[in-house]
């Protein structure tokens, strides 16, 4: 199981910003935990064009299975269409199961 965000949190160098995202002091600068988790998952750095979306809309749920790589255009469209609030718990459970099977 992926523990990267959790370890960072335990180290006590993280905080929640005004927008509700968990930040961490890492590699000499403040960074978003959800982006670090995605980078760890992909095994590479993200570009500035890439955006990490929280599938269940919970900005603090940085479990890797809850994060989806997207871009600004798709991300804006997604939120503009009104996909807000919690997603179907069954769909989320399936997602968690599917992605866990990849490992």
* Site for Zn ion, rule CB under 5 A: 53
In Å, the largest CA–CA distance within the chain is 39
Q: Which of 14/69 has CB closer to Zn ion?
A: 69
Q: Which of 8/53 has CB closer to Zn ion?
A: 53
Task: Give the tokens for residue 39.
Answer: 């980078």
Distance CA 97, CA 34 (A): 20
Q: Which of 24/51 has CB closer to Zn ion?
A: 51
Q: Is 70 exposed, middle or buried (0-12, 13-18, 19+ CB in 10 A)?
A: middle
Closest separation in Å from C-beta 53 to Zn ion: 4
Closest separation in Å from C-beta 10 to Zn ion: 26
Q: Distance between terminal CA atoms of the chain?
A: 9
Closest separation in Å from C-beta 28 to Zn ion: 27
């Amino acid at each position: 199981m992926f523990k990267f965000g959790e370890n960072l949190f335990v180290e006590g160098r993280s905080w929640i910003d005004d927008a509700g995202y968990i930040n961490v002091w890492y590699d000499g600068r403040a960074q978003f935990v959800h982006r670090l988790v995605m980078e760890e998952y992909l095994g590479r750095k993200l570009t500035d064009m890439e955006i990490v979306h929280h599938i269940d809309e919970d900005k603090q749920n940085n479990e890797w299975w809850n994060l989806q790589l997207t871009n600004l255009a798709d991300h804006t469209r997604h939120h503009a269409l009104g996909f807000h609030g919690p997603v179907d718990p069954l769909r989320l459970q399936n997602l968690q199961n599917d992605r866990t099977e990849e490992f």
